[in-house]
Amino acid sequence: MTALASIPGRAGIRGRGAWAALALLLLVGAVLLLYVGRDTSFFFDEWDFVQGRRGWTVDSLLNPHNEHLSLVPVLLYKVIFATAGIESYVPFRVALTLVHLLVCALLFVYARRRVGDVLALAAVAIVLFLGPSWPDVLWPFQTGFLGSLAAGLAALLALDRADRRGDIAATALLTVSLACSSIGLPIFAAAALELLGRPDRRRRWFVVAVPAALYALWYVAYGGGGSMTVDNLLSTPKYVAEAAAGAVGAVSGLGTTWGRSLAVGLVVALVLALRRGVVDPWRLAALIALPLVFWGLTGLARAGLREPAAPRYLYPGALFLLLIAVEAARGIEVPRPAVAALLVVVALVTLANVGALRNGGGYLRDQTEDLDGSLAAITLAAPGSLPPGFQPEPEIAPQVRAKAYLDAVEDLGSPAPTAAQLPRLFQRGRAAADATLTRAYGVGLAPAAGRAGGAAPTPERAVGATVTARGACLSARLQAPGGLVELAVPPQGLLLRSDGGTATVAVRRFSDTFPQTTVGKVLAGSAAVVLRIPGDSSTAPWHTRLELTGPVRVCAPAPA
């Protein structure tokens, strides 16, 4: 094997300057990522770990998650559960950031041996601030993907040693890569291609045999259930092409549309590199196979979802393309003006990517605010009063079920605001709390079983309508189109009856505004109905809005 240190054309930095520059770059990246991901919390798949992976049984460790062997990320989460609980999301975010920095540091080591310090730092900057792939760098669940990539990069560096110690290390690292996520499969396939093509393959067979055997044992016991279909198979070639365009677009910062044209240019450049000869053809062949296997396997499983450029797939694809680039460029003399121009381009791409990271962080914060309100809301209900399978937020967190979540809270602490903090949440969180309580309590209009009695309800606001008290009732009459009346809902509820008009009924509690979703309608000529809402641990009142089309009577129900 050609000595890496003797390869010409490697732009360098004097002394320890390259390592200092890398450290500064990683520090800036860590601070930025932790900042843009602030005030976020557990999201989507993470709830499967929180609710279902707290035990230390073999099944809790080895059961697949979305067909992935996730042993390493499950262990990581369980260690944090045991040491820090789930009240703070910061330890999980720090863990993800550290794994991301490890990937970048390993990329630097790999690239600088081939293309020098300056171009290696440029490659690191692209991956470090890869905004289009924000879920991979802001969502701790993606430690599985990034763990596979870090272990895979380390395995390639170990194989560079071409000695017994390096091969033993590569064996362990490939095993770890497979145990992090299915991203380990294309990494394993690439390593196997390289090793089996070399003349010393008989001596090094165990590097691929051991991880393959261990993964096969897991697959026989726990794997299977894939989603490959004939339609996926037929769609995979197009999926691979679109995924390649997405990855090129992420590296360039220009998006998938430009990525298609740039991908063709990169293929041409790669062909020219192959024509001039390469230092290590087997390694380059393995690296070319790496993204193709990744995109191909993903297409076979998920082409039907039509998401080849999904953000979470861009990080692996971009990293794989950069590895191919630095391997193909090994030994090429790069003029200083070209290096300077490349650095300017990388700086511009980085600035654009920071904007994408901010948008991703904002999206996760929005999801957190909604979910915080919903999770805080279900703690108001009396213990055992909610159905075990009730979903506080079926769209944002369909995995969260009332009993499983409350059991996790009892074991690990609560990641959500307390009931006392609920009124101080942002508006969207309070609105989510109202929506959750409305569903949890089954708030709606029911046939009235009693009659009016007691003091008349007190109106809070009337627009385009007049309200007149008559005994235990209020008479609401329309004065202008769009007239409405708002009232507080007393503990005993409200009795509603048409006096010839209709009224659409909405409710709120913690929110400043009424939702568009209504809980029922008072119909002309129909019998009286009652709006009654169960009490809970909060003293905050409920409010109702009646949108009128004519006269309606609102009464206090007589005590039972």
> Mean pLDDT highest for which of 162-171, 255-264, 443-452?
162-171
Answer yes or no: are the C-beta atoms of 147 and 72 closer than 8 Å. yes
Q: How much is the pLDDT for 13? A: 67
Q: Could you report the per-residue pLDDT of 516-541, keeping only the tens digit for each?
A: 999 999 999 889 999 999 999 999 99
Q: C-alpha angle 377/380/386, rounded to 5°?
A: 85
Q: Could you report the per-residue pLDDT of 248-281, keeping only the tens digit for each?
A: 999 988 888 888 888 888 888 788 777 776 677 8
Give me the DSSP letters along 336-352.
HHHHHHHHHHHHHHHHH
Alpha carbon distance 127, 169 (integer Å):
25
Q: Could you report the per-residue pLDDT of 4-19, keeping only the tens digit for each?
A: 433 444 555 655 889 9
How high does pLDDT run on average in the chain? 90
Dihedrals phi, psi of 358, to nearest 5 degrees = -60, -40
Residue 348 has, within 13 A of its CA and on its CB side, a CA count of: 9
Residue in the structure block whose two tokens are 């040693």: 161
How far is the CA of 152 from the CAs of 83, 176, 258, 360, in angstroms? 28, 8, 29, 27
Structure tokens at 450: 């009693």
Q: How much is the pLDDT for 7? A: 44
Alpha carbon distance 421, 410 (integer Å):
19
Structure tokens at 92: 């999980």
Task: List the one residue out of 505, 467, 465, 502 whose CA is nearest residue 481.
Answer: 465
Alpha carbon distance 475, 134 (integer Å):
55
Q: How much is the pLDDT for 304? A: 73
Structure tokens at 2: 């050609």
Pairwise pLDDT comparison (254 vs 165), residue with the higher score: 165
Answer yes or no: are the C-beta atoms of 321 and 251 closer than 8 Å. yes
What pairs with residue 68 in β-bridges? 65
For residue 1, name the pLDDT band (cuts at 50, 70, 90).
very low
Residue in the structure block whose two tokens are 């003029």: 335
Q: How much is the pLDDT for 214? A: 96
Alpha carbon distance 387, 379 (integer Å):
13
For residue 383, name the pLDDT band (cuts at 50, 70, 90).
confident
Of 84-93, 100-109, 234-243, give the lowest mean pLDDT range.
Answer: 234-243
Q: How many residues does the chain have?
A: 560
In one letter, which amino acid is 226? G
Answer yes or no: are the C-beta atoms of 252 and 259 closer than 8 Å. yes
Segment holding 285, helix H or strand E:
helix 281-302
Alpha carbon distance 303, 238 (integer Å):
9
Q: C-alpha angle 107/161/322, rounded to 5°?
A: 25
**pLDDT surpassing 70 at residue 2:** no
Burial (CB count <10 Å: 0-12, 13-18, 19+), residue 31 = exposed
**pLDDT surpassing 80 at residue 402:** yes
Say which CATH architecture domain 445-555 belongs to.
Sandwich (2.60)
Task: List the one residue out of 40, 62, 42, 66 whose CA is nearest residue 409.
Answer: 42
Span 130-156, mean pLDDT?
97
Task: List the one residue out of 99, 294, 377 whose CA is nearest residue 390.
Answer: 377
Dihedrals phi, psi of 148, to nearest 5 degrees = -60, -40
In which region does residue 552 sit, left (phi positive, over 0), alpha (psi from -120 to 50) or beta (all else)? beta
Return the SS3 of 275. Answer: helix
**pLDDT surpassing 90 at residue 471:** no
Give me the DSSP letters along 414-440.
-SSPPTTTGGGS-HHHHHHHHHHHHHH
Taking the domains of the chain in order of start, what are their residue ranges? 225-332, 364-440, 445-555
Structure tokens at 519: 């809980």
Q: How much is the pLDDT for 12? A: 58
How far is the CA of 405 from the CAs of 62, 383, 435, in angstroms? 22, 13, 18
For residue 307, name the pLDDT band (cuts at 50, 70, 90).
confident
**pLDDT surpassing 90 at residue 232:** no
In which region does residue 554 sit, left (phi positive, over 0), alpha (psi from -120 to 50) or beta (all else)? beta
Residue 307 has, within 13 A of its CA and on its CB side, a CA count of: 9
Looking at 379-492, list the stretches that DSSP marks H as alpha helix, in order from N- to C-terminal side. 402-412, 427-440
Dihedrals phi, psi of 11, to nearest 5 degrees = -70, 120
Q: How much is the pLDDT for 415? A: 94
> Mean pLDDT highest for which of 7-21, 137-151, 321-335?
137-151
Of 21-30, 234-243, 456-465, give the lowest mean pLDDT range.
Answer: 234-243
Span 105-125, mean pLDDT?
94
Task: List the one residue out of 143, 136, 132 whose CA is nearest residue 65.
Answer: 143
* List of residues 6+ apart from 29 with CB closer than 8 A: 100, 101, 104, 128, 129
Task: List the one residue out of 248, 256, 271, 270 whose CA is nearest residue 320.
Answer: 248
Dihedrals phi, psi of 3, to nearest 5 degrees = -65, 125
User: For 364-387, what is the HEC assignment?
Assistant: HHHHHHHHHHHHHHHCCCCCCCCC
How far is the CA of 123 from the CAs of 84, 264, 342, 534, in angstroms? 35, 20, 10, 59
Q: How much is the pLDDT for 443? A: 95
Span 436-446, mean pLDDT?
95
Going across the sheet that includes 503-508, the strands are 459-463, 484-489, 542-548, 503-508, 520-522
Q: How much is the pLDDT for 3? A: 39
